[in-house]
């Protein structure tokens, strides 16, 4: 397989561990393992203490799959397949569903693998562009109009990376209803699910919406445990899941034994885990509201509706790539220019899931103060 470089991941490979403040991270501040293990119940504490480091069950630990299933309304443990992060799940599903002659539609700008893997597999992939002028809204009618006879898959990421877009329930129902009628698969990338700023905005999961709906989940974002590298697909289409399982034999075969148990502990304690993530995000959002209000002459943003990232725009004439390069040099604060998404204009991704965000923002603010607009 020949596949284009994943621009954002190459960017992070260069910078992530070399800067003082990552003001563009998409995850929530990672848990300390000792704090997580302290949340274990009797059963998971015993599983952790007695864990043997052999191969694990290929579809995922039965207790983990059962726990993941409780995140959905219509999903049973056998409707869940565990992967090494969301990334492996995207890779397997795209390869299973898409090949030469197939067509897919994917929200864009977005996480590159959601469209790149399908293209590398030989499919024709159309991008459903979200537009700042529309508040980055998903346009169900425009998306439906781009469906063709060969369309096999529609991919929607919501809450969305990088804009924080979250469709209203009616728009979501319009799209999922249409896909159900047309017997097209939906990959709902829900890795930021449970981080809706208003819980009333949480959408029905893709897997619950219709039988060919597939939900993509992961421990990395809302659950703040990216280092576990545990993700999953959930769908009532067991035939599709079986094909993904067969494909996974060529990638990781089975998950990491310690990571599975830690993910189980985290999901069983999800009230505590999610409450912590929401608290970090809400506190940081307050800072950002003030920041964007104070710097409205230099920066604009569409306030996100969920997740831990947004996609503001620098209004200065200076290109964002040059601005970001000077910022990281001067303050050790990293922004992610929109060019890493292949997106034209002066946008950048800002992340607000990290506990050092106020310090990172202070660095950006100092820098803005020094580099007065020409
Ligand atoms: C929308 C989206 N999907 C999938 C992923 C992949 O998640 P992971 O790195 O945990 O596999 C990411 C990570 O940034 C993402 O933002």
Q: What is the pLDDT of residues 37-52, one digit of tens each?
A: 999 999 999 999 999 9
Separation of CA 40 from chain center: 26
CA of 191 to the centre of ligand 1 (A): 7
Task: Average the pLDDT over 150-169 and give the result.
Answer: 98
Terminal Cα-to-Cα distance of the chain (whole angstroms): 47
| CA separation for the pair 192, 258 (Å, rounded) | 23
Confidence check: pLDDT of 1 > 90 = no
At residue 26, does pLDDT exceed 90? yes
Cα–Cα distance list, 197 to 29, 201, 202, 299 (Å): 17, 8, 9, 22
Q: How far is the CA of 254 from the centre of ligand 1 (A)?
A: 19
Task: Please give the Cα distance from 348 to 326 (Å, whole number).
Answer: 14
- Which atom of ligand 1 lies at the shortest distance from residue 90's CA? 4
- State in Å: Cα 86 to ligand 1 middle: 6
Which structure tokens are listed for 7?
A: 């621009």
Residue 95: predicted pLDDT: 98
Rounded CA-CA distance 246/60 in Å is: 13
Is there a contact between 264 and 257 (Cβ–Cβ < 8 Å)?
Answer: no
In angstroms, what is the span from residue 190 Cα to ligand 1's centroid? 9
SS (H, E, C) 211-227: CCEEEEEECCCCCCCHH
Mutate-to-test residue for ligand 1 from 10, 110, 221, highest number of ligand atoms within 8 A of CB: 221
Confidence of residue 335 (pLDDT cuts 50, 70, 90): very high
Residue 373 has pLDDT above 90, yes or no: no
| Mean pLDDT calculated for residue range 222-227 | 98
Q: How confident is the model at residue 371 (pLDDT cuts 50, 70, 90)?
A: confident
**Residue 16 confidence class, pLDDT cut points 50, 70, 90:** confident
Q: Which residues pair with 104 in a beta bridge?
A: 125, 153
Q: Compute the distance between CA of residue 357 and CA of residue 6 in angstroms, rounded to an integer.
A: 26
> Could you tell me the strand order of the sheet in which 309-310 lies?
309-310, 348-351, 336-337
Q: How far is residue 239 CA from its own chain's centroid? A: 25
Q: Which residues, 6+ apart, have CB-to-CB distance to 145 below 8 Å?
A: none
Reply yes or no on whether the pLDDT at 187 is more than 80.
Answer: yes
**Average pLDDT score, the chain:** 97
Q: Determine if ligand 1 sits within 6 Å of the CB of residue 94.
A: no
Is pLDDT of 168 > 70? yes
Distance from the alpha carbon of residue 231 to the mean position of ligand 1, in angstroms: 9
Rounded CA gap, 168 and 22, in Å? 30
| 106 phi and psi angles, rounded to 5 deg | -135, 135
Cα–Cα distance measured from residue 294 to residue 290, given in angstroms and rounded to the nearest whole number:
6
| Residue 87 Cβ contacting ligand 1 at under 6 Å | yes
Rounded distance between C-alpha atoms, residue 312 and residue 301, angstroms? 4
């Amino acid at each position: 397989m020949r596949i284009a470089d994943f621009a954002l991941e190459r960017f992070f490979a260069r910078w992530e561990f070399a800067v003082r403040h990552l003001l563009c991270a998409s995850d929530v501040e990672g848990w300390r393992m000792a704090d997580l293990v302290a949340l274990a119940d009797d059963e998971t504490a015993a599983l952790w203490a007695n864990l043997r480091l052999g191969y694990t069950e290929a579809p995922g630990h039965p207790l983990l799959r059962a726990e993941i299933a409780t995140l959905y309304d219509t999903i049973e443990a056998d409707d869940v397949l565990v992967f090494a992060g969301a990334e492996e799940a995207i890779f397997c599903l795209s390869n299973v569903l898409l090949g030469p002659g197939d067509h897919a539609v994917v929200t864009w700008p977005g996480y590159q693998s959601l469209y790149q893997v399908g293209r590398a597999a030989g499919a024709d992939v159309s991008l459903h562009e979200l537009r700042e002028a529309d508040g980055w809204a998903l346009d169900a009618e425009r998306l439906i109009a781009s469906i063709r006879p060969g369309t096999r898959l529609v991919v929607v990421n919501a809450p969305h990376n990088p804009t924080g877009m979250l469709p209203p329930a009616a728009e979501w129902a319009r799209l999922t209803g249409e896909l159900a009628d047309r017997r097209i698969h939906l990959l709902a990338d829900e890795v930021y699910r449970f981080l809706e700023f208003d819980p009333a905005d949480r959408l029905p999961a893709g897997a619950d919406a219709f039988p060919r709906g597939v939900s993509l989940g992961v421990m990395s974002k809302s659950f703040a445990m990216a280092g576990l590298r545990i993700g999953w697909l959930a769908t009532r289409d067991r035939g599709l899941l079986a094909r993904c399982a067969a494909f996974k034999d060529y990638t990781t075969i089975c998950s990491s034994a310690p990571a599975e148990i830690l993910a189980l502990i985290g999901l069983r304690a999800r009230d505590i885990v999610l409450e912590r993530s929401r608290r970090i995000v809400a506190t940081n959002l307050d800072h950002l509201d003030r920041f964007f209000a104070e710097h409205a002459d230099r920066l604009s943003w569409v306030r996100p509706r969920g997740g831990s990232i947004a996609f503001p725009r620098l209004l200065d004439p200076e290109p964002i790539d040059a601005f970001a390069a000077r910022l990281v040099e001067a303050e050790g604060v990293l922004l992610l220019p929109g060019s890493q998404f292949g997106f034209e204009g002066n946008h950048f991704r800002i992340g607000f899931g990290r506990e050092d965000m106020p310090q990172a923002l202070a660095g950006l603010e100092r820098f803005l103060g020094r580099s007065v607009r020409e």
